[in-house]
Amino acid sequence: MPAQPVLQRKSPKDMELQVRGADPKTAVLIRHVGIGDLVWHLPYIRAIAAASRNGKVSVIAAPSTRAKDILAAEDCIDDVILYDRRPRRTEGRKGSHRGFAGLRRFARELEVYQFERIFLFSRRYHHAILAWLAKIPTRIGFGTNLRQRLFLNHPPFIPKYQGPGVGIYEEATALVIAHGIVPSAVVPRMKVPAAELAFGQDFIAALTRPTVCFAIGTSEKHKHWGDERYGALAAELIARGYGVVLLGGPSEEENARRIVAGVPEAQRAGIQPFTRGTIMQTAGILCAADGCIGNDTGVLNMAAATGKPAICLLGKRPLLLHDPAIRCLDHVPLNQLEVKDAVAAVTSGISLRR
C-alpha cells in the first residue's frame, strides 16, 4: 500500500492568505553577527522574498553584519531592522536591546510592522519568543530544541548540523529546502553597485596584475595569522609579480602598517592598504582584484560571493564548504601554517583573469 502524504497543519492566518491569494508580509531574522554570516544567507533572503508580499522581505540583523550597506544593493528588501542585543566583545559597548527588557522592547518595535510571517535562521529559543511577543502569526525556524519549538508554529523543523563544515550555512540551507523555498543549496553571490565597481578598478589601477587581496582583519586574536607572516607573504608575492591590497577596517590600521613595514622598501610600490573605506568599496576592490587570501572569513566570503578565488588561512576550525571558490588551508593549526604554504596556494590558485 503506498505511503500516505504527510499533511501540514495550516494556521488560520495561512488559510486566510491562501483565500485572498496574497503572499504574506515577511521578515527574516539572521542570528549570527558577522559579515560572512549575512553573505551566506543572501540567496535565501532573495528566495523567501520571491514568495512574499510585493516580492520583498524585511531583514532583522545585528549592526555588525553591515546589513544596511550590503543589502542596499538588493531590490528585494523592504527594511533592514537592526537588532542590537549582544555586540561583539571587541566593540566594547552594551547592546541597546540587551536582556529580557530589551527583547520585549524590540518585540514592540517589530509589532508595528505587522509582519504575517517570519523565518528565524536561528537555534536560539529567545528569537522564537521574540517573534511570538511581536504577534507574528506564522513563525518558522530551525526547531532544533524543544524550547524553541514551543514558540514556533509552522513545521517542518530541521536537525542540528553535525558535519565538518560551518553549520550556519548548512542549517540555513536545510530550513529553506524543508519549506520548499528552494530545491537545493544555492551558492551565495553579492550584488555590487556600479559606483563601487568603478572605485575598485581605480584603486588597484597602479598595482601589477594579478592582484591579490589580503583579508587581515579578525574578530578574535587567536584567528589572526600574524603581521610578520603577512609581510613575508606580501614580499614573496610582489617579487613574483603580484600586486597586493591589504583589506581591513580602522582597527586594522596598525596591522597594515606593520605588514607594509615587513616588505622591503624597494617593493612597497606593489602593496596598498585599504582600511578606511566602506564595506561596499571593499566589495568593489574584491571584484576588481584577482583573488583573496587571509583569515578574515567575512571578507573571504565576500570575495567568493563576487566570483573570485578565496584562500582561507583557517587552521583547525570548521570548514567553509558552501562555495567551490573557497580553499581552506587546514592541514595544521593556524600558528603552524607556514608562509611557503600560503605562497603555493596563491600561485596555484590565483592568476590573472583575461
User: What one-letter code names the amino acid at 219?
Assistant: S
**Count of CB atoms situated within 10 Å of the CB of 222:** 8
User: What was the pLDDT predicted at 100?
Assistant: 83
Query: Strand 57-61's sheet: what is its strand order?
Result: 77-82, 57-61, 26-30, 117-121, 138-141
Dihedrals phi, psi of 217, to nearest 5 degrees: -85, 165
Distance CA(244)–CA(273), nearest Å, equals 8
Residues 6+ apart with CB under 8 A from 52: 23, 24, 25, 26, 117
88: left (phi over 0), alpha (psi -120 to 50) or beta: beta
HSE (side-chain half, CA atoms, 13 Å) at 228 = 3
User: What was the pLDDT predicted at 353?
Assistant: 65
User: What was the pLDDT predicted at 176?
Assistant: 98
User: What one-letter code names the amino acid at 255?
Assistant: N
Q: What is the pLDDT along the chain (354 residues), one digit of tens a residue?
A: 333 333 334 454 454 444 344 799 999 999 999 999 999 999 999 999 999 999 999 999 999 999 999 999 999 999 999 998 776 666 666 767 678 888 999 999 999 999 999 999 999 999 999 999 999 999 999 999 999 999 999 999 999 999 999 999 999 999 999 999 999 999 999 999 999 999 999 999 999 999 999 999 987 788 899 999 999 999 999 999 999 999 999 999 999 999 999 999 999 999 999 999 999 999 999 999 999 999 999 999 999 999 999 999 999 999 999 999 999 999 999 999 999 999 999 999 999 764
Q: Which of 312, 66, 318, 45 is nearest to 189 (CA)?
A: 45
DSSP state letters, 76-125: TEEEEEE--SS--GGG-S--TT-HHHHHHHHHHHHHTT--SEEEEE---H
User: What was the pLDDT predicted at 18?
Assistant: 44
Distance CA(178)–CA(180), nearest Å, equals 6
User: What was the pLDDT predicted at 5?
Assistant: 33
Distance CA(58)–CA(78), nearest Å, equals 5
pTM for this entry? 0.89
User: What was the pLDDT predicted at 89?
Assistant: 65
Q: Which three cell numbers stand for residue 44?
A: 535565501
User: What was the pLDDT predicted at 15?
Assistant: 46
HSE (side-chain half, CA atoms, 13 Å) at 22 = 12
Tell me whether the omega of the peptide bond preceding residue 309 falls within 30 degrees of 0, making it cis: no
Q: Which three cell numbers stand for residue 24?
A: 504574506
On whether the CB atoms of residues 302 and 192 are closer than 8 A, the answer is: no
Q: Which three cell numbers stand for residue 26?
A: 515577511
For residue 40, give the 3-state DSSP assignment. Answer: helix
**Count of CB atoms situated within 10 Å of the CB of 15:** 10
SS (H, E, C) 305-354: HCCCCEEEECCCCCECCCCCCEEEECCCCHHHCCHHHHHHHHHHHCCCCC
Tell me whether the omega of the peptide bond preceding residue 210 falls within 30 degrees of 0, making it cis: yes
Q: Could you give the domains of the chain?
A: 12-178 (3.40.50.2000), 194-349 (3.40.50.2000)
Distance CA(311)–CA(347), nearest Å, equals 11
Tell me whether the omega of the peptide bond preceding residue 87 falls within 30 degrees of 0, making it cis: no
